[in-house]
Structure 1
Amino acid sequence: MKSRKLRTLEVSSIGYGSMGLSQGYGSVPERKESIELLHNTYDLGCTFFDTAEAYAMGANEELLGEALAGFRNEVSIASKFWIQDSIENYSAEKLMGVIRNKIEGSLKRLKTDHIELYYQHRVNKDIPVEDIAWCMGELIREGKILGWGQSQATEEEIRKAHAVTPITAIQSEYSIMARQFEKNVIPTCGELGIGFVAFSPLANGFLSGQVNADTSFTGIDARRVITRFQKDNILANQPLLDLLLGFATTKEATPAQISLAWMLHKNDFIVPIPGSRNLKRIRENIESSDIVLTEDEFKQIETALATIQVHGDRKDEDLAKLRTLKD
């Protein structure tokens, strides 16, 4: 596996998003099966594993902590804290106390004394990003984290926070179907030497080409509320899949691999973190790091993409609707 740098943090060029092992896509695997899958992912060359305190109320961190314990020093762990509400009688010191409780909980669940990369899961508009950045600097000085970042942040939020404590990486949604951060955020990361970690790089599996208009989802499965999986949108997005399939045939690859190879070609500071519960798919994703697009092939894809309209998206407010759905 090739490696890349998120600022100074060196990680495998393809990471692994572990959320789906605990929530988000219907029924989850047995714990033993998940641990074996994580071991196999490491054996395939992945050294960058992503989790969050919010995933299954900490259970996903506990799973990773158990699974990675045998080779903890060989991998980098990214986790996230989430402060959803305003803090009563707000002060930077009180904020530090809230965050300290969160990091201590994550460290305990992950069975480690430090986390390589610690993100603010979503920027809280009631809390100045400069204060969050100050708290992250304190945790870095204490050795509890090695670096920090934001998720789904704006250019302004990145610049303000980075000026206080340099940001290691921004983690946001990014794929061939979701390119909203190409205009401002990704160029800002390049300018400031910040890494960019792409979650949902395969558009929640849509870009694998395995979904069709007859595919149905049940239970607590995010694809029930992500609009790109609505039947009309699946049909309307066929030209995009046809484009990927054409290049996949030429390169003896899969549509998913072409999608990831395209992303890796864009910038050398971008690291995708696809998640899967299928070892064959994980192997496929990791092997995409060996697929190199020529500059001409990349330009052909970009030119074609400019003519294709993407239908549907993934929004946090849509995901919130999942809690209200009945089977």
Structure 2
Amino acid sequence: MPLSHAYGTPPEKSAATRLLNEALDLGYDFFDTAALYGFGANEELIGEAIGHRRHDYILASKCGMTGVDGQRVIDGRPETLRRTLDDSLRRLKTDVIDLYYLHRWDKTVPIEDSVGELGRFVAEGKVRAIGLSEVSAATLRRAHPVHPIAALQNEYSPWSRNPELGVLAATREIGAALVSFSPVARGFLAGSVTNPDGLPDKDIRRAMPRFQADNLSTNLSILERFQRLADNSGCRPAQLSLAWVLSRGDHVIAIPGTTSLQHLRENFQARLLEIDAGVLKQIDGLFAQGSIAGARYAPATLAEIDSEEY
């Protein structure tokens, strides 16, 4: 997402192309995009930059939340999902998407209707497996009998523990992956956000309560202690956050985003870290319920999602 959307000015296409190919060269093999990101620009980037290496990676994209006339729109009607898929296949320069998510559940459309259409995409050979994003365990269990759900993507990191309220267990029970987006807390646990005024004008974090001045000052005191744990473990804070996420279960996958080649390489090494169980337990305590100041999203956005919230 940050290569095209939401975190200020995206990098030049040449730099983004280099980063995507470097990721493949390192051994990354799971790439996650969406019709929403850059209102199609991110899918076009992937198609142009690494479409010729299509057999080297698992490709995931999303529908149900797109850009319409410059505005983000949630629309889960089957006809809209089908139109979005056809546009995505064209932009991605492929005839099949390995994992296709419903990016957001449109609460005006029964989840069974949206998932039923995604299942038809599988039957038609345009999609290999389907997933959901930002939904609760209850909604996952409603959807799964309609068509098997291969993956559920929710925000999960030491400072966003909401999946532990239901979906961490539910995904394990049905045999689905839990794909953790923002596993480094939107850069916060990498130490990249220390001043809200330093965020770019169009950065989505400016509207997120956790990054606003009063809350951020509280959260930075927790970050200092987290950074000490990383130093004592001989790794970078972002790597420690990723290692913590990966420790949550064999079915848990982390998808860190970055525009930095250095961070790309550091993130990839996190999977090899052997973090002491005592350190992981300290992280659990450091980020216990109520320790982080501010909600994940502003109230209007929280109303759009279905995932469990503390």
Provide the residue aligned with 1:43 in structure 2.
25
- Deviation of 1:318 after TM superposition, in Å, equals 6.2
TM-score normalised to structure 1 length: 0.85
- Whether 1:28 aligns to 2:10 is yes
Letter in 2 for 1:67: A
How many Å separate the matches in 2 of 1:318 and 1:68? 36
Instruction: Map residues 1-327 of structure 1 onto 2, 5 A cutoff.
Output: 19-82=1-64, 84=73, 95-213=77-195, 216-306=198-288, 309-315=291-297
Paired residues of 1:77 and 1:117 also in contact (CA < 8 A): yes
Provide the residue aligned with 1:11 in structure 2.
none
Q: Which structure 1 residue ranges, 5 or more long, are not aligned?
A: 1-18, 88-94, 321-327
TM-score normalised to structure 2 length: 0.89
Q: CA 1:37 to 1:299, structure 2 compared with 1: closer, same or farther past 3 Å?
A: same
How many Å separate the matches in 2 of 1:307 and 1:319? 21
Paired residues of 2:13 and 2:45 also in contact (CA < 8 A): yes
Greater length-normalized contact order (CA 8 Å, ≥ 6 residues apart): 1
Q: CA 1:243 to 1:268, structure 2 compared with 1: closer, same or farther past 3 Å?
A: farther
- Deviation of 1:137 after TM superposition, in Å, equals 1.6
- Deviation of 1:57 after TM superposition, in Å, equals 1.4
How many Å separate the matches in 2 of 1:196 and 1:86? 23
Deviations 1:56-77 (A, max 9, x none): 1111100011111121011011
Paired residues of 1:225 and 1:318 also in contact (CA < 8 A): no
SS of the residue corresponding to residue 91 of structure 2 reads helix
- Deviation of 1:257 after TM superposition, in Å, equals 0.8
Q: CA 1:34 to 1:191, structure 2 compared with 1: closer, same or farther past 3 Å?
A: same
How many Å separate the matches in 1 of 2:82 and 2:189? 39
Deviations 1:159-207 (A, max 9, x none): 0110110101011111111111211111111111111111111111000
Q: Which structure 2 residue ranges, 5 or more long, are not aligned?
A: 66-72, 303-310
Paired residues of 2:196 and 2:206 also in contact (CA < 8 A): no
- Deviation of 1:319 after TM superposition, in Å, equals 6.7
Paired residues of 2:60 and 2:97 also in contact (CA < 8 A): yes
SS of the residue corresponding to residue 253 of structure 2 reads strand
Q: CA 1:140 to 1:229, structure 2 compared with 1: closer, same or farther past 3 Å?
A: same
Deviations 1:192-229 (A, max 9, x none): 11111111111110000132237512321112212222
Paired residues of 2:24 and 2:56 also in contact (CA < 8 A): no
SS of the residue corresponding to residue 164 of structure 1 reads coil
How many Å separate the matches in 2 of 1:86 and 1:77? 22
Paired residues of 1:173 and 1:198 also in contact (CA < 8 A): yes
- Deviation of 1:304 after TM superposition, in Å, equals 3.6
Letter in 1 for 2:125: G
How many Å separate the matches in 2 of 1:25 and 1:75? 25
How many Å separate the matches in 1 of 2:213 and 2:142? 41
- Deviation of 1:49 after TM superposition, in Å, equals 0.8
Q: CA 1:266 to 1:86, structure 2 compared with 1: closer, same or farther past 3 Å?
A: closer
How many Å separate the matches in 2 of 1:71 and 1:151? 27
Count of aligned pairs: 295
Letter in 2 for 1:58: G
How many Å separate the matches in 2 of 1:277 and 1:222? 16
- Deviation of 1:85 after TM superposition, in Å, equals 6.0
Q: Percent identity?
A: 39
Q: CA 1:24 to 1:214, structure 2 compared with 1: closer, same or farther past 3 Å?
A: closer
CA RMSD of aligned residues (A): 2.0
